[in-house]
Structures are given as C-alpha cells and as structure tokens.
C-alpha cells in the first residue's frame, strides 16, 4: 500500500465522518425545531384550556348575577304596579 492509497483512505474517512456529522447535525436540528414547535403548541393549548376553565368557573357567577338582576327587575315592576294602583285610586278620588 503506497502513500497515495493511505492519503486516499484518510481523505475518504475524513469526508465520510464530516458528511455523517453534517447529516446527523441536520437531523438533530430538524428534530430540535420540531420539539420547539410541539412545545409551543402545547403551551398554546395549555393557555386555551386555562382560558376555557376560567370561563367555565365564571359561568355560575354570571348566571346567578343574571337571576338576581331579573329578580330585582321583577321587584321594580311590582313596585311600579303598586305605585300605579295608588295613583289610580288618587285619580278616582279626585274625580268623585
């Protein structure tokens, strides 16, 4: 085996190792990017779930507040009916 074969073999080994390293680096880089995307997607889904959970937790409060509001409106309506009936009685007395 001459020195040129030895140089050719060493060159081929170095080229193979550097090419393999480049390929491995590309594969790992793509894997890393995919993991970052999945992590971001997971974080976004977690945020959406937290927001949905907050909305679900607020629903009974909003519903109760709406029921209270309707009850107050009904009480005001009843008070207005009483006032209206009193005014009607006063008008009847005035016209007698």
Question: What integer pLDDT is reported at residue 10 of this predicted model?
Answer: 82
pLDDT digits (tens, 9 = 90+) for 1-53: 678 877 778 888 877 778 778 788 889 999 999 999 999 999 999 999 999 99
Based on C-alpha coordinates, what's the Rg of the chain?
Answer: 41
Instruction: Compute the average pLDDT of residues 82-96.
Output: 91
Per-residue pLDDT reduced to its tens digit, 52-80: 999 888 887 777 778 888 999 999 999 99
Q: What is the pTM of this model?
A: 0.47
């Amino acid at each position: 085996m001459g020195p040129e074969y030895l140089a050719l073999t060493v060159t081929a080994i170095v080229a193979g190792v550097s090419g393999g390293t480049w390929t491995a680096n590309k594969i790992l880089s793509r894997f890393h990017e995919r993991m970052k995307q999945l992590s971001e997607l997971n974080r976004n889904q977690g945020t959406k779930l937290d927001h949905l959970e907050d909305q679900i937790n607020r629903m009974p409060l909003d519903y109760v507040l709406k029921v209270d509001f309707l009850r107050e409106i009904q009480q005001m309506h009843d008070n207005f009916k009483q006032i209206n009936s009193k005014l009607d009685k006063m008008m009847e007395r005035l016209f007698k």
